[in-house]
Structure 1
């Protein structure tokens, strides 16, 4: 580990002992990244850390982080790189200088860019890509993003990936880093089947005012190119040819909402953003996420924890998410509407198979993706980087 200046023991810092101050610098402020940061803030606050979150206004994160016990500070930053980058870096540097955290945890491409440029190795730094920036763009922009990630890795004490596949993707692109892999997790006290023999399906459909009918596929995610809803809509007419009564609901909002509405086949339900996605997960017979890229998507983990089978594109983290043996049924190539349609048709036509897959998925999620294990491992990583002993209760949980 690189040597850093000792933490300032003044009140703005954390002083000595096992408690310390971590600053989560975050952009974007919605979707899975926001849920991950809120889960970390909740667990770390409970563990006695002083947790700060620097993020733009708007989105889900600020309120969720406050509810989790974090101090929230405004950091003005757009979602994508642009001419405002120097001001964003300066804003991050000023925020860090004022708050004087012991450790910086930068989440996603923009915060990873601005945070590492602001600190440049002067403070223990964890960078968590939440999917690689160069996968989200193409051409010259992708080349520049990759070049930056290769250079910027020198200013991260750990590059924290959420799947082995995400780490391998970085290595294969020539990123030399001090790697850590800690898989995403979900709150199993919140994401679980509702009572009833059908796992709450009938009750959820009544609450959502969904009409009775054939099997329901639900896609949950930001309406944007990454999540691949356009691929799903291209596949759906073929699905209806196989399972005429099948229904599809898209849950979420985003920049592609209007375009997707214009191109959607008849009968697709656009639910908009949902403050609580659990009713939609429980209403579904199958949850589908045809992403173009991911690190390890949260929505499939949450669906499995609710006892619902998932169909996902074979991107980073997908194979590691699924129960053993489900890959042949529940993985499809990304950006392949024909393969997606065939897989959807095969699954939606077999309710008994869906039930069996859902039971396997629930057990798998409860065994492998408890968020307490995730948050404990991240906090343990902080202790390692700061050279501080882990509290005994964390050591017990990790075992």
Structure 2
């Protein structure tokens, strides 16, 4: 790709906390795309999780920004440290990912540098009571210091708008690398993982935490195994709820911990499930569908938008409803031809609407429209 000298001088600073899970994958894909386009890209994040090494491996500068996952008494120091990073780098654009980074970046910059805020699910949905009211108050106030807010689903944008957040919005659906996440025969994938079982296999990929709803899944799983005693469930990931979940899980549930690449687990599954309590638009269902696997997800922000129409009646269930979740799992596990047809439809859907190259192009268009930023090209990234 040929870039002008103006394009090549553009400097984007991504600020991220958390540094794992879906946020890390989104940031990594953007960094890869932008570096491929000849831009200067830096990342400020804690020196933990998978993100720092991933973006260093791509050639991005990484600046250690010590910050906890949630706001706390150390927030003023975190804001000052981030302000020093920005003063040192003098980027053209700051792109802050998720609630914590969005909080710190907007407090540090206060509109002095074009700032894109991407919530990846709203902070006030993750908490309750007084904390939720404080989080909502901040999001309403802090919107004045975001030049642009990027939501990953129309539902996420509507949640913000209905909650009184006044911003300049864009909706850019999440995308996945369709060359990395691709179909493979389940038996071959299972053999590669050392799985010899022929039993029906359900896989759940995600951080073991309240948001992702694995506790709800385990309650549903008891009903699934009453109907289908041979069924097996694999939980891929780790997190604060891990010890408690392991205590209540029956023998038919296996915990494999965090993995560098979940692709083989998607490919090994008959069915992938994500029973989240809240999301913006989860990446796990998109990754699973790219592997031609049907999914069962809860009807939270972004879920309905992420599914092909054929899958909605079978794969979308109310949030926090173990009985409905169990019915959906049993229904699909008991109908292999339907699963195969839905998997094919899911794969086509992701290729057409959730290829990450569409996502990175749309983000580049947002940058171009920011005051004082000017031309930016950002194509041919994930698969140059």
Give the TM interval when normalised to the shorter protein. over 0.9
| Contact 1:39/1:68 (<8 A) preserved | no
Question: In the alignment, which residue of structure 2 is the partner of 1:191?
Answer: 181
Q: Which runs of 5+ in 1 are unaligned?
A: 1-14, 195-199
Q: Within 1, Cα distance between the matches of 2:231 and 2:33? A: 40
Determine the structure 2 residue equivalent to 1:110. 100
**Partner residue in 2 for 1:18:** 7
2:65 maps to: 75
Question: In 2, distance between residues paired with 1:236 and 1:346?
Answer: 13
Residues 297-348 of structure 1: per-residue CA shift (max 9 Å, x gap): 0010000001100100000110011001321111001111011011111111
Q: Separation in 1 of the partners of 2:83 and 2:29?
A: 25
Secondary structure at the counterpart of residue 238 of structure 1: helix
Secondary structure of 1:320 counterpart: helix
**Aligned position for 2:374:** 388
2:33–2:379 Cα contact (<8 Å) kept: no
Find the aligned partners of 2:70 and 2:204 in 1 and give their Cα distance: 25
CA distance in 1, matches of 2:101, 2:379: 28
Per-residue CA deviation, residues 56-82 of structure 1 (Å, 9 max, x unaligned), is 011000011112221111001000010
Task: Find out whether 1:139 has 2:125 as its counterpart.
Answer: no
Map 1:1-399; keep pairs closer than 5 Å: 17-19=6-8, 20-194=10-184, 200-385=185-370, 386-391=372-377, 394=379
Q: Is the 8 A contact 1:41 1:69 kept in 2?
A: no
Q: Structure 2: how far apart are the matches of 1:139 and 1:250?
A: 30
Query: Following the alignment from structure 1 to structure 2, what is the Cα–Cα distance between the partners of residues 257 and 65?
Result: 27
Alpha carbons of 1:355 and 1:380: their partners in 2 closer, same or farther (altered >3 Å)?
same
Structure 2 unaligned regions, length at least 5 = none
Whether contact under 8 Å (1:213, 1:245) holds in the other structure is no
The alignment's C-alpha RMSD in Å is: 1.5
Compute the displacement of 1:16 (Å).
7.2
Per-residue deviation, 1:204: 1.3
CA contact (8 A) 2:310 2:345 kept: no
Deviation at 1:211, TM superposition (A): 3.0
Higher relative CO (Cα under 8 Å, sequence separation at least 6) belongs to 2
Structure 1 residue matching 2:112: 3-state secondary structure: coil
- Contact 1:236-1:265 within 8 A present in 2 as well: no
Mapped contact 2:294–2:311 kept (Cα < 8 A): no
Q: Compute the displacement of 1:17 (Å).
A: 1.7
Distance 1:216 1:308 in 2: 12
SS at match of 1:269: strand
Deviations 1:1-49 (A, max 9, x none): xxxxxxxxxxxxxx97223001001000000000000000000011111
Secondary structure (helix, strand or coil) at the match of 2:296 reads strand
